[in-house]
Chains A and B, each alone.
Chain A
């Protein structure tokens, strides 16, 4: 079925479209124009996705809370983001009197630009990667690191205690969890032997008995995926790690003093970060654009990529609908005392997996080590943080 030319063309439709468009230009300009088209596509597609996600998030949260959610603007409320966009564009842009105007202005721009750059190395389909870099993963993390600076800039320049506290929290949290994020990804790099994301996807795009070789289906991959997911949630400031904007304590965190379009840019940046980090998680652990079963390989690869990204966004929304948030010190303790040691252990297990060769033994050994470590460390964590279930007595 995969050989069917229609599906092959459908799979490659965006690549063909780009080549066709670029073909009108002189040869010297073609590589440049190709990249430019890719950039334009990314800059158009992901904000569009952002707009859709905001309305889906609100509707999803509504359903979780037994409400309907927005349904007034357009059919099923789908035009709600348009209304929101117009609203934020037409709102007054307020800069606090004592704010540092230049930094205050630059912060949202830096955030959005750096987050956009992360998309450059994500393979969104077969042959659909903007820049196939040798050190693509490193590039991604380098761009992620730069977003922290914008958060700090926003918090500091607003001259507001809540903003500053929010920014400090955000940066501390992002740095802590970035370590975990990196180390979880290193496990994949160890097995694949490459920092290039298309190669990582290619390594997972194989099937035995109809099932794919995704890394999440291995013990170390599952553990790595879980730690990655935890770190990604913290990195994107999503619930239950949304302390930087914990409205019950900090009003709105580092973007308290932002209004109008600048606030919209922050909002956009946060959602884009969510997309890009989900995209990276998909690429590393969920097989990127590869199909979940071998008989489904005729479905276009970009469909699988975006489907998986949206699925992880749904999990983000689901968690937000369920969980309360942690406290700052608990968050840090959790990062450094639980997630990080576990990730390091997972690295060792990954090495073990690599050197034990094929066979059932490595499955048993790695699973046992990870599960035992999880149970023991989980209990130690609960014990050291002094919490657990209780029983209650009654008076008649």
Chain B
């Protein structure tokens, strides 16, 4: 074999290794990548004893991470005051029932009315069931509710051994006080309260203005007449 043919052979060797397999010869030492990986895992092994950053495990039943304020699990119904039945904000408008994507809400509207938080006569739900096993925690009921009556809970430990009724909550089980709402979503709840207070103030101001106007009118119409009792 002459030198030229040897050179040709070497050149063909280069070509023989497919051109798409670019092989950098300076780093092609078998095993160095493996050693690099082993060093990495060793670093993690020892690091997990030293640094809290590496060992992020939270041992759940004993330790808990604080619930995020925005966290949402399942809906509940807010009531004002001490009596859940009297203070329930829900007016059975059934928007949430209609908008609920998995249709897990069932509402029956009352025949009579009771005063809501502003004192206006409204219907109320005689039945308000949420099947939590169907609910997908999407919060759409909360967003569409015009009365700030339904909010998201952060309670997630709801496991039950009753397969059929255990996760079907009626309105009593769903009711939570406004204070509870404040305790789990403080910022949002204060905003809601401020909004409701504003609304109430507006309504009251309107009522007052109306009452005053009525009173003034009455006064103007019949000055000597005895003053009207209610005015509204």
Contact = CB atoms under 8 A, between A and B. Distances in A.
Given A68-B55, A68-B57, A382 B30 contact: yes
B22 A63 contact: no
A67 B45 CA distance: 9
B42 A383 contact: no
A44 interface: no
B44 A65 contact: yes
B216 to A, nearest CB: 74
B45 A378 contact: no
A194 to B, nearest CB: 32
B97 to A, nearest CB: 44
Contact of A379 (B21, B25, B37, B57): B25
A319 interface: yes
Contact of A386 (B17, B42, B54): B17
B27 interface: yes
Interface string B39-54: 0111011011100001
B38 interface: yes
A386 B24 CA distance: 12
Contacts of B29: 375, 378-379
A374 B22 CA distance: 21
Given A66-B48, A66-B54, A67-B57, A388 B41 contact: no
Contacts of A64: 41, 44-45, 48
Nearest to A381: B30
B7 interface: no
Contacts, number: 73
Nearest to B27: A389
Given A66-B56, A321-B41, A323-B37, A391 B22 contact: yes
Contacts of A390: 22
A90 B41 CA distance: 36
Interface in A288-331: 318-319, 321-323
The bracket for how many chain A residues form the interface is: 20 to 34
B162 interface: no
A388 B29 CA distance: 9
Given A66-B55, A68-B55, A382 B37 contact: no
B34 interface: yes
A318 B41 contact: yes
Contact of B21 (A60, A322, A338, A386): A386
Contacts of A318: 38, 41-42, 45
B28 interface: yes
A388 B34 contact: no
Contacts of A338: 30
Contacts of B44: 63-66
A65 B48 CA distance: 9
A319 B31 CA distance: 13
B158 interface: no
A63 B45 contact: yes
A338 B30 CA distance: 11
The bracket for how many chain B residues form the interface is: 20 to 34
B23 interface: yes
A393 to B, nearest CB: 12
A378 B23 CA distance: 13
Contacts of B157: none
Contact of B28 (A60, A67, A323, A388): A388
A386 B16 CA distance: 11
Contacts of B161: none
A60 B45 contact: yes
A71 to B, nearest CB: 8
Nearest to B47: A66
Given A65-B44, A319-B38, A375-B29, A382 B55 contact: no
Nearest to A384: B17
B59 interface: yes
A374 B30 CA distance: 8
Contacts of A321: 41, 45
Contacts of B59: 68, 71
Contacts of A60: 45
Given A68-B55, A388-B23, A378 B41 contact: no
Contacts of B191: none
Nearest to B17: A383
A240 to B, nearest CB: 9
B7 to A, nearest CB: 19
A378 B30 contact: yes
Nearest to B59: A68
B161 to A, nearest CB: 23
Nearest to B35: A322
A321 B38 CA distance: 9
Interface in A185-243: none
A322 to B, nearest CB: 4
A54 B105 CA distance: 50
B112 interface: no
A322 B18 contact: no
B70 to A, nearest CB: 27
A327 B20 CA distance: 22
8 contacts: A60-B45, A63-B45, A68-B57, A321-B41, A322-B34, A386-B21, A388-B28, A389-B24
Given A374-B30, A389-B24, A389-B27, 4 more contacts: A63-B49, A66-B57, A322-B38, A383-B23
Q: Give the top 8 A-B pairs by smallest Cβ distance, nearest first.
A: A378-B30, A388-B23, A322-B41, A63-B48, A64-B45, A64-B41, A386-B21, A63-B45
